[in-house]
Amino acid sequence: MRIYRCLAGAVLTAAVITGAAAAVFASAQEPASNVVAAAAAEPAKSALEGCITDTANFKAEDNRAYFIVALENACEQRVKCEVFANIRTARGSKHGHGTLVLAAKSAGAEAKKAYRLRVKVAGGMAQVERNCTAF
């Protein structure tokens, strides 16, 4: 009789563990639907996606050092871009921001502009962000 109780207890324990494992497995499968919902909730890409190309580098001119962010518009609409830069060099940090208005690409040279930030050394680490909107 005692063996049957032990056996019954083992079967009950196994059933509880199996049920808990099934519940964990089922809940692990649910986030896939949440991922799809999160992807659908992302905002649509802006019309300016791919229009603006940028290059950023350090340059020494006239015995002075600059960090230059050059923007170019490849679309046929005017664009206003805010540029933010944070520069860290061996001689200290500097940050700045500016606004550039780029003409349509058919305007030629007016579609290319650059933001220049004077720094102490022509080299270091830079973090740059830009926010462009149709204008």
Q: pLDDT tens string for the chain (135 positions)? A: 555 555 455 554 555 455 544 554 455 555 544 444 444 444 444 667 788 999 999 999 889 999 999 999 998 899 999 999 999 999 999 999 999 999 998 888 899 999 999 999 989 999 999 999 987
- Sheet arrangement for strand 52-61: 52-61, 64-73, 112-119
Mapped onto helix, strand or coil, the DSSP state of residue 53 is strand
CATH fold for domain 52-134: Immunoglobulin-like (2.60.40)
- Backbone torsions φ then ψ of 82, nearest 5 degrees: -100, 130
The angle formed by the CA atoms of residues 85, 90 and 94, to the nearest 5 degrees, is: 25
3-state secondary structure of 62: coil
User: CA-to-CA distance for 72 and 51, rounded, in angstroms?
Assistant: 8
**pTM for the full model?**
0.63
Per-residue pLDDT, 41: 44
67 neighbors 95 (Cβ within 8 angstroms): no
Question: How many angstroms separate the CA atoms of 15 and 89, rounded?
Answer: 64
Residue boundaries of the structural domains of the chain: 2-41, 52-134
Residue indicated by tokens 């964990």: 24
